[in-house]
Structure formats: structure tokens, C-alpha cells
Amino acid sequence: MNIDNIEAFVYINHYGSFNKAAEVLFLSQPTVTARIQSLERELDCRVFDRLGKQIHLTDKGRQFLPYAQQILQTYQKGRHHLHAKRAMPNEVRIGSTVSVSNYLMPQLLMVLSQRFPKINFKLTTAPTDILAAKLSAKDIDLAFVRKLMNPAFQSYPFYEDPIRLYVYKDHPLASAGRASIREIRKEPLVFFECGSLDWLRIHRGFETLEQPPNIVFQVDNAETAKKLVLGRAGICFLPGLCAREEVENERLIPVDITETSGVSLQTDLISLAGESSEFIETLLEMRDSFSY
């Protein structure tokens, strides 16, 4: 079975379009169509139903998809290991979101520098979509991004950051440790969100209230939000990573809110298939040994 045919099948399913898959694979649309036709002959069944410009997996295609994804991943890993002994680069370019740059990268970079003392590390901080574009263009070598599904990238879950309500020391809720949305409805709120879909669950928690929450500040920077809470200007939902030091020093107190329990932000480590393997392996070892 031709691996190129399987690759075309996986990409078309992901992008929902023959034309888009052809663009990403740097192929012509007729070539991608021919690969699917060849795959369907090999499997002796259709894998896509075509209704005008819309395409859908057939039942057989849906059954075959997880096997195709596994085959493609195994092939990419094998190809990567064949080339794993290539000369080490002089520089490794790492991209990361703001929160990772602020709270994880100093420690990660120090360990990488100790492990690879002859290599320079260059950090670029940007939103997830920009980092994905830079990785595709090979302007960076690997990146820490919000959860992202793209068959062009190898993706590894790296860090799960719980979002909780934080209050300043001596706030009435500090000793309780737990509250409901209704109990905080009149509290002055500092509202921070970083653009992730996970924040929608925080917003939805307030939809059951008869009146909107008492939002006194809306900010787009976690440090600004945190300092407003420390200054007793309000209370705020924050990712745990940015408040870790203040919690350890008992300057901020986490409060569990029933309606938002389990909301978290996932950071993934991504790279192009078969690239930057030595650094990824080191980072994943660090992930498994770190205690956040």
C-alpha cells in the first residue's frame, strides 16, 4: 500500500477539502484525487462521498481512518529515527505562548543549555496561530502552543494548567476555599482571558445568574490581572501557573468554584514531523519530572 495515498487520505479528512490538502502537501489537486482513487482501488471501497464541493467519510472510510493515521505516524517516526544522527545545529529556535515564556521557559532554557552547551537557543513569543505559521514556514524549530490539531505537526501534550479563582490574603473567601458562582456574583471581578476556547466555560458559569457579574476591570495580560488582585482591586480567574509563586508565598489564595471545576488550559509541544527529535525528547523528560 502506497504511503503517499494514505497521507493524502489523512490530510483530506483533516482539512475537509481536496484543494486544501493539495495546497498543504504542495501537490496539484488532480494528483491528490489520483492518490485517493488509487487508495480506493487498493481497499476495494470508496473512502469519501462527494456531494458537490462537500466531502464526507463513508462508513468504510471512517473505519479505516484510525489505521491510516497510525500507519502515517509510524512511518514518520521511522523516517525520523533513520535521520536521528544528523549533525547538531548551531541554533535552535523555540516559539512559545506568553504564559510559557513568562513562567516555564526560564527553567526549560537553563536545562536545555546544560544538556546542549554548544547550542544557542532563540526564543520567540507569539500567539498559537502565529507560531503554527512560523513552524510551517520553518522560521522556528519547535513551539509551545495551546492545544492544536494539525496532521502536519508532531504534537505532544506538555502541560495542563487549571484555571481557578484567586483572591487576596484576608479576603472573606480565602478561608472557605470553595464557593459557587452565585456567592461571588457581587464581588468586584478582574476578568482576564487569553483567547482560548476554555475561557468560554468561565463565561458560561455566569449565565445562570439573573444579573451580570460585577466586572470592574477587563485585561488581556495575566500579570496585570494578578497585580490588580494583589492590590485588592478585585478577585480573578487565573491559570495556576502564573499564580504559583504568590500562592506559595500565601499572597494569593485559590478558591474552587463549583461551576468551573475542571476548566484548564492545555499547552502542547509541536514540531514538524521528524524534526528536532533530540530536543523534544529532552523536553518531554523534563515534562515528566517537573512538578508544577
Structural domain boundaries of the chain? Answer: 3-82, 91-159+266-289, 161-264
Are 275 and 223 spatial neighbours (Cβ–Cβ below 8 Å)?
A: no
Are β-strands 235-239 and 153-168 bridged in parallel, bridged antiparallel, or unpaired? antiparallel
Grid cell in block for residue 179: 464557593
Helix axes 105-115, 277-289, angle to 10 degrees: 120
DSSP assignment string, 8-68: HHHHHHHHT-HHHHHHHTT--HHHHHHHHHHHHHHHTS--EEEETTEEEE-HHHHHHHHHH
What's the rounded Cα separation, in Å, for the pair 267 and 270?
10
What's residue 125's pLDDT? 95
What's residue 194's pLDDT? 59
Same fold flag, 3-82 and 161-264: no
What's the rounded Cα separation, in Å, for the pair 243 and 236?
11
Helix (H, G, I), strand (E, B) or coil at 93: strand
Question: Any idea which fold 3-82 has?
Answer: Arc Repressor Mutant, subunit A (1.10.10)
Q: Kindly report the number of other CB atoms within 10 A of residue 172's CB atom.
A: 10
Residue ranges of E strands in 91-214: 91-96, 120-125, 142-146, 153-168, 178-179, 189-192
- Please state which CATH number belongs to domain 91-159+266-289: 3.40.190.10
Burial of residue 254 (CB within 10 Å: 0-12, 13-18, 19+) is middle
Alpha helix (H) residue ranges in 116-239: 128-136, 199-205, 222-230
Grid cell in block for residue 120: 544557542
Question: Any idea which fold 161-264 has?
Answer: D-Maltodextrin-Binding Protein; domain 2 (3.40.190)
What's residue 289's pLDDT? 57
Q: In tens digits, what is the pLDDT along the chain, a chain of 292 residues?
A: 789 999 999 989 988 888 888 887 878 889 999 999 999 999 999 999 987 778 899 999 999 999 999 998 888 777 766 655 555 678 999 999 988 999 889 989 998 888 888 899 999 999 888 999 999 999 999 999 988 777 888 888 898 888 899 999 999 999 988 998 888 888 999 987 655 545 667 777 777 777 888 889 988 888 999 999 999 999 999 988 889 999 999 999 999 988 888 888 889 999 987 777 788 888 888 776 554 4
What's residue 122's pLDDT? 95
Cα angle: 97, vertex 100, 101; to 5 degrees: 80
